[in-house]
Homo-oligomer: A and B are copies of this chain.
Amino acid sequence: MKEKGILTVVSGFSGSGKGTIMKGLLEKYQDYALSISCTTRNPRCGEEHGKEYFFVSQEEFEKMIDKEDLIEYANYVGNYYGTPKSYVEEQLESGKDVILEIEMVGAIKVKEKFPDTLLLFITPPSVSELKKRLIGRGTETKEVIEDRIKRAAEEAAIMDKYDYLIVNDDLEDAIEEVHSIIKNERRRCFRNQDFIEKIKEELKGDF
Among B123, B149, B184, the residue within 8 A (CB) of A164 is: B184
Asked if residues A164 and B177 are in contact (CB atoms below 8 Å), the reply is: no
Q: How far is the CA of A161 from the CA of B123 in the complex (A)?
A: 31
Interface segment among A49-57, A76-84, A108-116, A195-203: the answer is A195-203
Interface SS of chain A = helix
Asked if residues A203 and B164 are in contact (CB atoms below 8 Å), the reply is: no
Residue numbers in B under 8 Å from A156 (CB-CB): 196, 199-200, 203
Q: How far is the CA of A167 from the CA of B164 in the complex (A)?
A: 24
Residue numbers in B under 8 Å from A121 (CB-CB): 189
**Integer count of this chain's copies in the complex:** 2
Which residues of chain A have a CB within 8 Å of any CB of chain B?
121, 123, 126-128, 146, 149-150, 152-153, 156-157, 159-167, 177, 180-181, 183-184, 187-190, 192-193, 195-196, 199-200, 202-204, 206-207
Contacts A127-B199, A127-B202, A200-B157: A188 and B207 contacting too (C-beta < 8 A)?
no
Among B149, B161, B166, B202, the residue within 8 A (CB) of A206 is: B149
Apart from A160-B189, A161-B189, what 19 extra A-B contacts exist at CB < 8 Å? A126-B199, A126-B202, A127-B202, A128-B202, A150-B206, A150-B207, A153-B203, A153-B204, A156-B196, A159-B189, A160-B190, A160-B193, A164-B189, A165-B189, A165-B192, A165-B196, A167-B195, A177-B187, A184-B184
The distance from the CB of A117 to the nearest CB of chain B, in whole angstroms, is 14
Q: How far is the CA of A192 from the CA of B121 in the complex (A)?
A: 12
Q: How far is the CA of A127 from the CA of B162 in the complex (A)?
A: 36
